[in-house]
A = this chain, B = another copy of it.
Amino acid sequence: MGGDYAPQNVVAGALDALESTGGRFSLLLVGQQERIQQELQKHTGARAFKEACTIIDAREIIEFNDGATAALKTKKDSSIAVAITLHRDGKADAVVSAGHTGAMLSASTLILGRIGGIGRPTIGALIPTSAHTPSLLVDAGTNVDCKPRHLFEFAVMGTTYVEAMFGKKNPSIGLLSIGEEDNKGNEVTLEAFALLKQSKLNFFGNVEGRDILKGKVDVVVCDGFVGNILLKFGESVPAFFKSKFTDFAGRSVVNKLVALIARSGMRSVMKELDYQEHGGVPLLGVNGVSIIGHGGSTPKAIKNMIFRAEEMVQRKVNARIQEAMKQYAKSQQERL
């Protein structure tokens, strides 16, 4: 029931996912039964795949403007809480939602619990780069006021995710800072630098704002305050260029023609910046697979989120994170 277009886009995306994989998995659709039923009935073409959908009734909806913690306390029968509980109880292998991000985060952390050694679960975001493989920015906005060890955990979770999901061996990690030199940073990053340096991770060192889109490293580590601001800034760049291009087109007839012809190129380039292509972001560090999508997710985004969830289960990302944190704890003990 989450997101701006629920349940219609969620149901459409679910059926798309089933149809394009020939029913490789089955889906539990959690929410107000009659509304989901109604949506399913609209899709006359995908009859066979409706049987792969089971509706689980959940009466309440956590609204966009609800406070996450309060909503989880008062709305026990929300689609988010019910879905995550199904996952905890082994009745689902993963949860996908385009609903309230804070509620997904809190409910996943509370109901599923954290992976051993992880202080703060995190969300990573894939950033397009000119190096042709995207980089993972972690934390993408979940945790502000981080301690150095939280940044270290983000690096462990990010590197494990990239390795498991993209088959990248020993991904490189950059610590986002204000200069390349080891002594550049703020109090928190300088301490995090030391932790990363003495670890067995493939730590490149500090990276700067200008290195992100170059794809200088596979994993870019920062706190959620910086990550949130950077990602939202990046999301606003296409609209900015579009407005500047419109200004340019308005200046002469020749410009108008140039802009018209350029549009197809611009579109193709901008497409790479579109989150819909990637479909949601994973919550890392909880005992489960929890994928959080944009509130405005299209059916395509929902479909891609389901595929991502399936992949995360198959590639055992959480077991790998747990192992990495164990290894780290062991090396810390050996040092003492």
Contact = CB atoms under 8 A, between A and B. Distances in A.
A30 to B, nearest CB: 27
Given A229-B226, A272-B244, A144 B213 contact: no
A129 B264 CA distance: 24
A interface, size bucket: 35 or more
Contacts of A187: 145
How many copies of this chain does the complex contain?
2
B239 A130 contact: yes
A236 B255 CA distance: 25
Interface stretch (A38-46, A204-212, A310-318, A325-333): A204-212
A229 B207 CA distance: 10
Interface string A224-236: 1110111111111
B240 A213 contact: yes
A130 B232 contact: no
Nearest to A236: B210
A165 interface: no
Question: Interface of chain A, helix or strand or loop or mixed?
Answer: helix
A176 interface: yes
Contact of A261 (B176, B235, B248, B262): B262
A237 interface: yes
Interface string A173-211: 000111000000111010000000000000000001111
Nearest to A255: B265
B259 A224 contact: no
A278 interface: no
B144 A178 contact: yes
A141 interface: yes
Contacts of A129: 240
B232 A245 contact: no
A236 B211 CA distance: 8
Residue with the greatest number of chain B CB neighbours at <10 A, chosen from A130, A176, A240, A269 = A240
A258 B258 contact: no
Nearest to A185: B144
Interface of A: 128-130, 141, 144-145, 176-178, 185-187, 189, 208-214, 222, 224-226, 228-237, 239-241, 243-245, 248-249, 255, 258-259, 261-262, 264-266, 268-269, 272
25 contacts: A129-B240, A130-B240, A141-B178, A144-B185, A144-B186, A178-B225, A178-B229, A209-B228, A209-B233, A210-B232, A210-B236, A211-B236, A212-B236, A213-B233, A213-B239, A214-B239, A226-B229, A230-B230, A230-B233, A241-B241, A248-B265, A248-B268, A261-B262, A262-B262, A262-B266
Given A209-B236, A211-B236, 18 more contacts: A130-B240, A130-B244, A145-B187, A185-B225, A208-B229, A209-B228, A209-B229, A209-B234, A209-B235, A210-B233, A210-B236, A214-B236, A214-B240, A222-B229, A225-B226, A248-B265, A258-B264, A262-B266
